[in-house]
Amino acid sequence: MAIVHVIQENVLGCKTVAFDEHALRRMGERNITEDDVLDVLRHPTRTNLPTQPTRFRYRRTDTAGDWIDVVFERDPTQVVVFSVWRKR
């Protein structure tokens, strides 16, 4: 998938957060905002969840037990988000 959207945000020591087509499509389908994704990346309640070998998967769980997962890769300057989903 191709990167189609980049925002200037300092997250996980990187200067930008990029979203590929799949992530943006899933965000729209699942009513997940950029702010939701940034919140997960900045304040995860779980990390090291299973995913592909070069990727990370972070989760943020709220007080009701609902959660959002973000799957991403990170290089020295950019976080690239590949997928997101939620459980309500």
Q: What is the pLDDT of residue 50?
A: 96
E-only strand ranges, 1-88:
3-11, 14-20, 56-61, 67-74, 78-87
Sign of CA dihedral 6, 70, 39, 26: positive
Residue with tokens 């200067």: 15
The predicted-structure confidence for 17-69, as pLDDT tens digits, reads as follows 999 999 999 999 999 999 999 999 999 999 999 999 999 999 999 999 999 99
Q: What is the pLDDT of residue 1?
A: 65
What does pTM read for this prediction? 0.95
Residue 15 has φ and ψ, to the nearest 5°, of -95, -20
